[in-house]
Amino acid sequence: MRADKKLGVAKELIEEGKIKTFEDIFIYVTMTSMSSKLGMNYKRFRRLVANPGQLKYSETYSIAKVLQVDPKLISGLIHQELDIYKKPKKSKLNA
């Protein structure tokens, strides 16, 4: 019952735009709870949260379904996180 309330809080915050990155979801919802609801191995799920670019579209849809939000919102959070941590490319110097 408590996990469902946390899912509701996360849903509201995502829809209001207060959660800015994919990883921020797990401030409110535990990874254990989410991996269980997705039927996914916990270690694999942690690895995907740490590297969200490796998530499959079907997995983002499943996460959106658990949170009861539009899958585009989850995808947007993933893209936002990838943009934040994207390392700038070094340019080659012509010598």
- Sorted by where each starts, the structural domains of the chain and their CATH numbers stand as 2-85 (1.10.260)
pLDDT tops 70 at residue 95:
no
pLDDT in tens, 44-93: 999 999 999 999 999 999 999 999 999 999 999 999 999 887 766 665 66
N-to-C CA span, the chain: 65
Amino acid code (one letter) for 53: G
Residues 6+ apart with CB under 8 A from 82: 52, 53
Which pTM value belongs to this model?
0.83
* Alpha-carbon 26 to chain mean position: 8
pLDDT in tens, 11-34: 999 999 999 999 999 999 999 999
